[in-house]
Amino acid sequence: MPSMVTKQELVECPPFARDNLDPEDVSEEVIVRILTSAKRQAVIKSVSVMEFMKDYDRHREGEILESDFKRALDNSSVIIKEEEATILCNM
């Protein structure tokens, strides 16, 4: 007769270095990963993100507010995490 197996204790995996999203310690690798993900989504969905950004550039100076940046990404169907959008805004 087989012996009874007890439940194993779940151990949380250590975080990967690439998942470090602390704004003070953002590496170039993290920024490239975020931008690559956003670009991939835009290409797959055939979306011109720059056209959405232009709508929020009130004075046509190439600058928009952080809240408008996040709103433009949302309207263009490019989905990124709140922390990732903040990292891009703080570059």
At 17, is the secondary structure helix, strand, or coil? helix
Question: Rounded to an integer, what distance in angstroms lies between the CA atom of residue 52 and that of residue 25?
Answer: 29
| Residue 50, phi then psi, degrees to nearest 5 | -60, -35
Tell me: pLDDT of 59 over 90.
no
Number of compact structural domains in the chain: 1
Domain span at 70: 26-89
Question: Rounded to an integer, what distance in angstroms lies between the CA atom of residue 63 and that of residue 43?
Answer: 23
Region 21-31: mean pLDDT is 73
Q: Is residue 63 part of a domain?
A: yes
Confidence of residue 35 (pLDDT cuts 50, 70, 90): very high
Q: Is residue 17 part of a domain?
A: no
Question: Rounded to an integer, what distance in angstroms lies between the CA atom of residue 58 and that of residue 85?
Answer: 20
Question: Phi-psi category of 23—alpha, beta or left, where left has phi over 0 and alpha has psi -120 to 50?
Answer: alpha
Residue with the larger pLDDT of the pair 53 and 21: 53
Say if residues 66 and 43 touch (Cβ distance below 8 Å).
no
Q: Is residue 10 part of a domain?
A: no
- What pTM did the predictor assign? 0.64
